[in-house]
Amino acid sequence: MPEERSEAAGRALVTGCSSGIGLAVVTALLGQGWHVTGISRREPPIRAPGYRHIPADLSDSAAADSAFEAAGPVDAAVHAAGVLRVGDHQGMDMQDGALMWRLHVDVAARMIQTLAPRMADGGRFVLIGSRIAKGAPGRSLYAASKAALNGLARSCAAELAPRGITVNIVAPGATDTPMLRDPARADVAPKLPPLGRFVQPGEVAAMVAYLLSPPAASITGQEIVICGGASL
């Protein structure tokens, strides 16, 4: 049996780190003493000795592969990069769908494929999913791409379990990020959950940080929903 990681911090990689949930995850991990490598098109407003940035457009497969190779060995990886394109069954844009598949699913698969072989036993992967992966009006292609993460995460979790490497999904509901306020989604604006406010990025980041911690060593292949009661 592989040994559990004994240290609370190590080397982490976070995609989509320039804003929203990704930025919150980087901030949380740096606060816990992790050394963090962030990948995004724009450099985030982070000035910390434990942080380095790799600029890359992850929707470009070659650029994604190069960025993951440049990251080097890590103890944990978080895939937070994402986009939201909306449209009902009549207005679905297949190019938008292809973009979301590349960024949400293909990049996650490439990240795991590249990093897992170089990861020590007991490593961690967390993928940022979505509460609406089970389906929601006006979000068919987005929901489909996020739903695919469940199959990817559970399959990889089963394969990596003998090495003590965990793979989990954190699936937020409507979260107070720039994506939530995107004017392009005005026709399908999110509803407030029963708690009366949107999920905060820091709350999602806190769950991610827990899944990377030693006490979460037995959690793998799971989807953890954070939605303020919207799924009740």
Would the pLDDT of 2 be above 60?
Answer: no
Looking at the DSSP assignment, which residues form a beta bridge with residue 168?
126
Percent of the chain with pLDDT over 90: 67
Dig out the tokens for 46 from the structure: 């982070």
Q: 3-class DSSP state for residue 61?
A: helix
pLDDT of residue 228: 81
| Interatomic CA distance for residues 122 and 151, integer angstroms | 21
| 39-89 per-position pLDDT tens digit | 999 999 998 899 999 999 999 999 999 999 999 999 999 999 998 887 778
| 205-224 per-position pLDDT tens digit | 999 999 999 999 999 999 99
Identify the structural domains of the chain with CATH numbers, from first to last: 10-226 (3.40.50.720)
Amino acid 14 reads V
Amino acid 231 reads S
| 15-27 per-position pLDDT tens digit | 999 999 999 999 9
Q: What is the mean pLDDT of residues 166-187?
A: 76
| 114-144 per-position pLDDT tens digit | 999 999 999 999 999 998 888 787 788 888 9
Tell me the catalytic residues. 142
Dig out the tokens for 87 from the structure: 């449209």
pLDDT of residue 11: 98
Q: Are 128 and 21 in contact (CB under 8 A)?
A: yes
pLDDT of residue 3: 41
